Amino acid sequence: MNLSATEAALPLALPSSLDGHDGTNRAHGVSRLIAADTDLDAARLWLAEYANSPHTLRSYRKEVVRLLIWATRTLGKPLSSLTREDFLLYEQFLAAPSADWADPTLPRRGGARRLFDGPLSERSRRQALGILCGLLNYLVAAGYLAGNPLALRRIHSSGPVRSRRVERYLDHALWQAVLDAIETWPRGTSRECQHYERSRWLIRLLYHTALRASEAANAKARDFFQRRGRWWLHVIGKGGTEGEVRVADALMADFARYRTFHGLAPMPLPAEDTPAVMSVAGNDERHLTPTAIYLIAKEIFRRTADTLEPTDPAGAATLRRASTHWLRHSAASHQADAGTDIRFIQKNLRHASIETTGIYLHAEDDRRHAQTTQAGTESAPAAFPPDHLPA
């Protein structure tokens, strides 16, 4: 397996005495499912599982680098020798890293890089340890480690678990602002027209299908198909899970426009390998990467934010934070607002649990807020009638 791309995502060198080849938690006498014999190679292999999800890869890489550097520098131990006690110390460290770990004068890259901006919140610490627990579980399952020290970790809770509504989405007005802003883009040159048509199509594809960036990058014309006169999109999602997303006629009309612009037949053919989103010049043999999809969407949001800044600075600030995944959240939220059955939204987003889909039900909260705040403005009756005061 060629791991060069993932190796570049984990540019770290460890001394041979701390590379983990003889770690105290290494598994012995079991079948090995991976050939890696050092902690770095094993971690790179785990990261390779997320090569098609660049944002997940970056997040996971950051936590692996932090742990490896801390363990070797602070404890003088390799990852494959860490114990439960070591991870208790690491959790305390995450809550209060020393100043030299968060020195703002240090660069973000290189061996002497700055790994922290300051103490991690409880939520960030929980997320970091959850990621590392996933790494250790993988290495145990692969026969590389004998056990997972984080499996012993007690999950602390300061109170009942709250089911929060998702907040990283565009409301209807901001989504319309994005569509309107794209129509103002310059189209004076061939290149500008190409960029406009691709951006116009991509933003609609991501929103109306709720695809992830990696799914949009891998989508091909042949993945669009008809059944009983209705269009569907076959998707291979996270973990290789297959699903079908409904495609509205309006989106197929946008697809036909995009394809016609590049000299293709309006409707996709059953065995057509053309990418759903092509290079800006319409090269039907060049596939975009998930990162490219992400960056195109970010540009769309940034340019829209620039137009909104004078009249709606709050909306502009929201758009500057937005990413491709916000469009997935927006699609689900808007479907829920329209009264779509939550079971259908679950299928459209390919959620394993309907509880995950429930975080998009904003409309019920809006109605509850409106009705109860309106009721609160009315004059409230006295708690006791005047002639029935308590003794």
pLDDT at 25 over 90: yes
pLDDT at 363 over 90: no
User: In angstroms, how far is CA 232 from the centroid of its own chain?
Assistant: 24
Output b/e per residue, 40-49; b: 16+ Cβ within 10 A: bbbbbbbbbe
pLDDT at 355 over 80: no
| pLDDT value of residue 57 | 84
Alpha carbon separation from 345 to 232, 274, 297, 337 (Å, rounded): 15, 28, 23, 11
Helices and strands: H and E segment counts in the chain: 15, 3
Task: Work out the average pLDDT over 329-335.
Answer: 81
Q: For residue 344, name the pLDDT band (cuts at 50, 70, 90).
A: confident
pLDDT at 19 over 60: yes
134-143, 187-196, 348-357, range with the lowest pLDDT: 348-357
| pLDDT value of residue 359 | 52
In the block, which residue shows the tokens 């290149």?
A: 191
How many angstroms separate the CA atoms of 272 and 372, rounded? 55
| pLDDT value of residue 103 | 66
Domains of the chain as residue ranges with CATH: 4-152 (no CATH), 172-364 (1.10.443.10)
Tokens of 186: 């310059």
In the block, which residue shows the tokens 């076959």?
A: 234
pLDDT at 391 over 70: no
How many angstroms separate the CA atoms of 39 and 14, rounded? 9
Torsion over CA: 18, 19, 25, 29 (sign): negative
| pLDDT value of residue 365 | 52
Helix, coil or strand: residue 220: strand
Task: Work out the average pLDDT over 322-339.
Answer: 82
pLDDT in tens, 84-98: 999 999 999 999 888
Task: Work out the average pLDDT over 357-384.
Answer: 49
pTM: 0.55
Would you give the end-to-end CA distance of the chain in angstroms? 84
Concatenate the DSSP letters of all residues of 299-350 into one string.
Answer: HHHHHHHHHHTTT-HHHHHHHHH--HHHHHHHHHHHHHHTT--HHHHHHHHT
Q: CA angle, 326 as apex, 322 and 328 as ends, to 5°?
A: 160
